[in-house]
Amino acid sequence: MTTSAANTRHVALARRRVFSRLIVLLLAAAPAAALAVPLPPERPGRPAPVQSTPRRVPEDAFHKFVAELWPLAKARGISRRTFDAAFKGVTFDSKIIAYTKAQPEFVKPIWQYLETAVSSARIQRGRAKAAAERGWL
């Protein structure tokens, strides 16, 4: 294999890794509103109705979301094997919805959030990490 072909293969593999990680990050940050299920208002003085089957709407929506990602990944050159490996063991976690509703960047004013999120030490660590990973970024 020539150096050019090896570089092309290396770049393609790196892109696939980055894309796989991006998909996982997007899932982690999926808007809670898309998965939230509003409950009907309670009537005073009456007991809440008992549901015979548990609500699965958020979990079903999650599975539909993952299924809809496959055509996008395929169009970008991701193999089915890589896609399946990236999502192996990934399941819906209702705690994520609670976490997204409490993210500091959404519950604090922007300047207050930035004061706690950005520091010289973080910038230095980020630059050092970017330099260390420069080969595949």
CA 99 to chain CA centroid, nearest Å: 12
Return d(Cα 61, Cα 113) in angstroms, integer: 31
Report the chain's mean pLDDT, rounded to a whole number. Answer: 77
- Is residue 86 within 8 Å of 20, Cβ to Cβ? yes
For residues 34 and 57, the answer to whether their CB atoms sit within 8 Å is: no
Q: Is the pLDDT of residue 99 over 80?
A: yes
Predicted local confidence at residue 73, as pLDDT: 94
The whole-number pLDDT of residue 67 equals: 93
Mean of pLDDT values over 21-40: 56
Q: Look up tokens 């696939």; give the residue.
A: 16
31-89 confidence digits (pLDDT tens): 544 455 555 565 666 666 666 555 667 888 988 999 999 999 999 999 999 999 999 99
**Model pLDDT, residue 31:** 53
Go through the chain and tell me how many residues it has. Answer: 137
The mean pLDDT value for 96-105 works out to: 81
Note the pLDDT of residue 80: 94
How many whole angstroms separate alpha carbon 112 and alpha carbon 99?
19
Separation of alpha carbons 103 and 4, rounded Å:
44
Spatial contact of 75 and 54, defined as CB atoms under 8 Å apart: no
